[in-house]
Structure 1
Amino acid sequence: MSNTNSSTELQNGFGRVIGIGSFLPKDVLTNDDLAKIVETNDQWITERTGIKTRHISDPKTDTTESMAIAAAKAAVKDSGIDPSEIGLVVVASTTPNILFPALAACVQAAVDADNAMCFDLNAACPGFITAFVTAQNYIRSGMVNCALVVGAENLTNYVDFEDRGTCILFGDGAGAVVLKADENVGYDAIMRAAGKRGECLRCESYMQKGREKTPEFIKSNYINMDGQTVFKFAVTEVPRVIDNLLTKTGTDPDEIDYFILHQANRRIIESVAKHLKQPIEKFPMNIENTGNTSSASIPILLDEMKKAGKLGEGKKKVVISSFGAGLIWGAFQTEI
């Protein structure tokens, strides 16, 4: 696994995760609650997704911005660093409550990271790993020594609660990590995309000048998904990219302590575990209680794992992988 380079232009090691934080709204929507809205039931949802409950934002208090800030503050506090050390803030989100300024600039102000450059990125559910990989490259180049990476989503704003195929899946929340350069940390990544296959998962912007607000257009402003196509994509490409990553780093799957996957569907995670011939216990899950929080799902899970004593000392070898709209997918390997 890459952690050294002879080039004198590269001044830093890669970044080690030194702080983790998250935020989940207090309001919870259960499967039984959804059964009162659409034709469904707890058993149907649980068997197909593994989801029991999901957190939903309070429109008066829980914006994407406020959730991102809460998670970022928790991560910075957990890291123990002075915010002035942060040289980069990246926020991954598909559901910002403001178009500009960037959510990252709002986070920078809130955590007093006055020396940091800031930008947002949109890569849907793989947004967090895309932001993480981007931050690692900034650190490795020597441009920054410390980075704050946030995934924040308010997905229920874009859910059609008449569509039982999507309204059962999504929740709201935010998660964040702080990375600091460390010459001894191992890290490598593979990222992939297939834009020609992207029509199966799509959500259009409402603000399109000249577009007639037909029923079809209104429907396109919600999350639209071909569930079977997305499922087949995930169970094929995720294990493949993990296999490729492990080959690249020269790591046997048995050496990995945890495979931390995007929390989209329990059956997808179980399928990946079966393909890799690894026990399901090495695939931590919180989807039962959070649903799919898109770019926030992985950092929220990381925070739960650290609080449970499973991560945080830099000794656990992990592979982290995500997939989603684009189609975009990828994986990285490091120690946390």
Structure 2
Amino acid sequence: MRSVVTGVGGYLPDQVVTNDDLAKIVDTSDAWIVERTGIRQRHRAADDQPVSDLAVAAARRALEAAGRTPADVDLIVVATTTGDLTFPATATIVQRKLGCPVGIAFDVQAVCSGFVYALSVADGFVARNRAKCALVIGAETMTRLMDWTDRGTCVLFGDGAGAVVVEPQAGEGTTADRGLLGFALRADGTKQDLLYVDGGVSTSGQIGHLRMQGNQVFRHAVVNISEAINAAAADAGIDVAEVDWFIPHQANLRILEGVARRCGIDDAKVITTVADHANTSAASIPLALNTAVADGRIKPGQLLLLEAMGGGLTWGACVLRL
């Protein structure tokens, strides 16, 4: 039994913040940001727009694409770092707002790696007949964690949500099957100081701001993600060269290019949305997937490779056939 992605959806808030807009509030410029990150703009949620609203909008579009309704959903997994409340889980709020029946709903917190982790968790339910229609959502309002005086971090992030519907489908047990074929998930808590938010319920009692040692994160990203990519491909029983599309976490164009080179992936196979969306953390992979499905590049039956790295440090990769 395979867990098959049957629908994809995405949502970006209306407000667009350009690099020139940021240059008015922090010492930076469009040229400086583009040269170092490849980012040209990002979206920002309205003040009265919690992350659950973004998640619901993306989920509705994914359900429509799958030919399903909220009444069909029996599992919701939301990958987010920026939940509406300390508790309950944002997934339960999404369940209520969508009008889904009583089922399973919870959040996964692995920061930028959250969507890959969440897909693996959902696979554990769907492929084992514990869920018939799962929503896996990556949703973030990362701009609310920014220190707007720190030009090294505040220019990097944006808000948004992406979602997929995952349903069971019988396969043959080969790499030709549709669905989630292989994973590699990793974490190294000794690298926490490289990327974290300096606040927490049981420590400072405050939300805090994002802190990052950019050069160190870059170095670990290229090496560690490359290892996870090869491990996920081995788990799926495929060669990286067989992949039709590479959909990386949209953190920084230089990291995307570095990982692709190290893994021998042709630039023409890389889906990039970082210029328009910036880093939307757990939302970045499903948003990029949605963009490429919507514009016709990604087609049913193609082999996809996903990867991400986030605070923790956490990282991971997934191979799936759409």
Q: How does 1:161-310 map to 2 (within 5 A)?
A: 161-184=148-171, 185-186=178-179, 187-205=181-199, 207-208=201-202, 211=204, 221-310=208-297
Aligned to 1:320: 306
Length-normalised TM-score, structure 2? 0.94
Q: Following TM superposition, by how much is the alpha carbon of 1:312 offset from its aligned partner in structure 2, in angstroms?
A: 4.7
Residue of structure 1 aligned with 2:99, choices 97, 112, 119: 112
Q: Secondary structure at the match of 1:118?
A: strand
Aligned to 2:68: 81
Give % identity: 38
Amino acid aligned to 2:239: D
Residue of structure 1 aligned with 2:35, choices 23, 44, 47: 47
Root mean square deviation of aligned Cα: 1.6
Aligned to 2:13: 25
Alpha-carbon separation, structure 2, partners of 1:82 and 1:125:
28
> What do residues 280-299 of structure 1 show as CA deviations (whole Å, max 9, x unaligned)?
11111000000000000011
Aligned to 2:46: 58
Alpha-carbon separation, structure 2, partners of 1:309 and 1:88:
28
Q: Secondary structure at the match of 1:179?
A: strand
Q: Following TM superposition, by how much is the alpha carbon of 1:36 offset from its aligned partner in structure 2, in angstroms?
A: 1.4
Q: Following TM superposition, by how much is the alpha carbon of 1:246 offset from its aligned partner in structure 2, in angstroms?
A: 2.0
1:206–1:326 Cα change, 3 Å: closer
Unaligned runs of 5+ in 1: 1-12
C-alpha contact 1:17 1:179 (8 A) present in aligned 2: yes
1:92 pairs with 2:79: yes
1:107–1:312 Cα change, 3 Å: farther
Alpha-carbon separation, structure 2, partners of 1:235 and 1:207:
32
> What do residues 258-287 of structure 1 show as CA deviations (whole Å, max 9, x unaligned)?
111000000011011111222111111000
Alpha-carbon separation, structure 1, partners of 2:126 and 2:235:
21
Q: Following TM superposition, by how much is the alpha carbon of 1:121 offset from its aligned partner in structure 2, in angstroms?
A: 1.6
Alpha-carbon separation, structure 2, partners of 1:174 and 1:240:
27
Amino acid aligned to 1:304: T
Length-normalised TM-score, structure 1? 0.90
Alpha-carbon separation, structure 2, partners of 1:156 and 1:82:
31
Amino acid aligned to 1:229: Q
How many residues of Structure 1 are paired with residues of Structure 2 in the alignment? 315
Alpha-carbon separation, structure 2, partners of 1:97 and 1:248:
35
Unaligned runs of 5+ in 2: 172-177
Amino acid aligned to 2:153: T
C-alpha contact 1:126 1:295 (8 A) present in aligned 2: yes
Q: Following TM superposition, by how much is the alpha carbon of 1:253 offset from its aligned partner in structure 2, in angstroms?
A: 2.2
C-alpha contact 1:86 1:115 (8 A) present in aligned 2: no
